Amino acid sequence: MRAANYIGKGTPIHKLLMEIKTGEQAISFFAKHGSNMPIKFLNCNRRKVHRSEFRPYDLVVAPYTTDVKHLDNEYYTISA
């Protein structure tokens, strides 16, 4: 999979990418695969929680596109 450099729909890398839902999974992905993958970073938004809770690092991975409409005003970027 590391030799592939295409992230198109249906590819093994795209399927792997679609399984990454949380910030913890993103960190685990980069720890396992390093910077040898074509995926160089993932953007994350904070998970929506009740305003009485403070969980700034409870993250949800935004869809992997170049369209910024999926990002909140404040977002996090996770990379290797």
pLDDT for 47 equals 92
Please answer whether residues 45 and 71 qualify as being in contact, where contact means their C-beta atoms are separated by less than 8 angstroms. Answer: yes
Q: Could you tell me how far CA 24 lies from the centroid of its own chain?
A: 9
pTM of the model: 0.79
34 phi and psi angles, rounded to 5 deg = 60, -150
For residue 4, count other CB atoms closer than 10 A to its CB: 13
The four Cα atoms 73, 46, 57, 26 give a dihedral, to 10 degrees, of -100
pLDDT for 79 equals 92
Domain ranges of the chain: 12-79
Q: Is the pLDDT of residue 4 over 80?
A: no
End-to-end CA distance of the chain: 17
* pLDDT classification of 6: cutoffs 50, 70, 90: low
Mean pLDDT of 35-61: 88
Please answer whether residues 8 and 16 qualify as being in contact, where contact means their C-beta atoms are separated by less than 8 angstroms. Answer: no
